[in-house]
């Protein structure tokens, strides 16, 4: 399985639990966290089964451009590579960026892609543990259901009620309120660090380059956050 490095930590654990070998597609801060499809091509071998993506990307906050996604889709279609993409953060984006759903690009990539979302972030209700996944590929969905069924016995009653409420278009006002609040807190954090250009954009956290302070970040272990979170930076300084 090809997985980006860095990536939301629990995804590495999922890969390990499935007993798959990880191949790391590195996205680097020096490169503006761009998703370079030439690097991706180098990682694909006849044994590659799946490409695991996250867009908008946690932890970097990068929102993939349509061009990047198109390039990834072309590679996946060309190599008949299945893709899993987490789009949980799809609505929490800043500065006029646009989130594009990978599966929406064309019918070929749609058939290869499984997408997942949740309700914890955009509506600010972590804890209800409700997410959802979609694919037009009936075989892939059949496999997901087969593997998930022994562990998941339906979503909680609270989760179902919350999902029904937040996915209703009438809840749009709530989303606008959350975005307003997120912009405000992000602005405060940027101002405090007085280095707006060093902050990556997106998600609810801000990551800051601290090299000018003479400090450097430690990479806790391969394949996890290369950047420090705000809390860690504060502690560190
Ligand atoms: C990319 C990504 N996927 C999934 C999750 C899990 O979300 P939930 O709160 O719904 O368990 C998170 C949580 O931070 C996340 O960042």
Is the model's pLDDT at 140 over the cut of 90? yes
Residue 208's pLDDT is: 63
- Label residue 63 exposed, middle or buried (CB < 10 Å: 0-12, 13-18, 19+): buried
pLDDT of res. 236: 31
Q: What is the pLDDT of residues 143-195, one digit of tens each?
A: 999 988 888 878 889 999 999 999 899 999 998 899 999 889 888 877 777 65
Q: Which of 57, 120, 123, 167 best tests ligand 1's pocket when mutated (most atoms within 8 Å of CB)?
A: 120
Q: Give the number of the atom of ligand 1 that is nearest the alpha carbon of residue 131.
A: 10
Top-confidence residue, 40 or 236: 40
CA–centroid distance, residue 132 to ligand 1 (Å)? 12
Residue 203 or 34, more confident:
34
Confidence band (pLDDT; 50, 70, 90) for 226?
Answer: very low
Distance 116 CA to ligand 1 centre (A): 10
Nearest CA to ligand 1 atom 16: 58
Measured from the Cα of 118, ligand 1's closest atom is 10
List C-alpha distances in Å: 163 to 157, 180, 225: 10, 21, 30
Integer Cα distance of 118 and 87 in angstroms:
8
- Cα-to-centroid distance, 24 and ligand 1 (Å): 20
Measured in Å, residue 126 CA sits from the centre of ligand 1 at 9
Backbone angles phi and psi of 223, in degrees to 5: 85, 20
Higher pLDDT among residues 33 and 39, named by residue: 39
Average pLDDT over residues 124-131: 88
The residue that leads in pLDDT, 235 or 119, is: 119
Q: Which CATH architecture has domain 2-169?
A: 3-Layer(aba) Sandwich (3.40)
Picking from 193, 186, 224, 223, the residue whose alpha carbon sits closest to that of residue 208 is 193
What pLDDT shows up at residue 116?
96
Give the pLDDT score at 61: 87
Q: What's the pLDDT score for residue 80?
A: 96
- Model pLDDT, residue 152: 80
> Quick one: which atom of ligand 1 is closest to the CA of 130?
10
- State the average pLDDT over residues 55-65: 92
Q: What confidence score (pLDDT) does residue 28 get?
A: 83
């Amino acid at each position: 399985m090809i997985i980006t490095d860095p990536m939301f930590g629990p995804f590495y654990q999922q890969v390990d639990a499935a007993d798959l070998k990880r191949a790391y597609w590195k996205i680097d801060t020096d490169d503006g966290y761009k998703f370079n499809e030439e690097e991706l091509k180098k990682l694909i071998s006849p044994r590659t089964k799946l490409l695991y993506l996250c867009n908008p990307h946690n932890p970097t906050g990068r929102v993939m451009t349509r061009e990047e996604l198109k390039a990834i889709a072309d590679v996946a279609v060309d190599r008949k590579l299945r893709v899993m993409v987490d789009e949980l953060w799809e609505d929490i984006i800043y500065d006029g960026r646009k989130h594009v759903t990978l599966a929406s690009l064309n019918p070929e990539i749609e058939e290869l892609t499984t997408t997942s979302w949740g309700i914890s972030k955009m509506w600010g209700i972590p804890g209800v543990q409700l997410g959802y996944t979609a694919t037009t590929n009936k075989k892939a969905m059949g496999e997901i259901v087969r593997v998930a069924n022994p562990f998941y016995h339906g979503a909680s009653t609270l989760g179902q009620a919350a999902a029904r409420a937040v996915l209703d278009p009438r809840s749009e006002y709530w989303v606008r309120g959350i975005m307003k609040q997120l912009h405000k807190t992000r602005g405060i954090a940027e101002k405090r660090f007085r280095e707006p250009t060093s902050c990556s954009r997106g998600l609810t956290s801000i990551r800051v380059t601290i090299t000018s302070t003479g400090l450097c970040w430690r990479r806790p272990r391969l394949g996890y956050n290369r950047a420090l979170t705000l809390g860690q930076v504060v502690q560190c300084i």
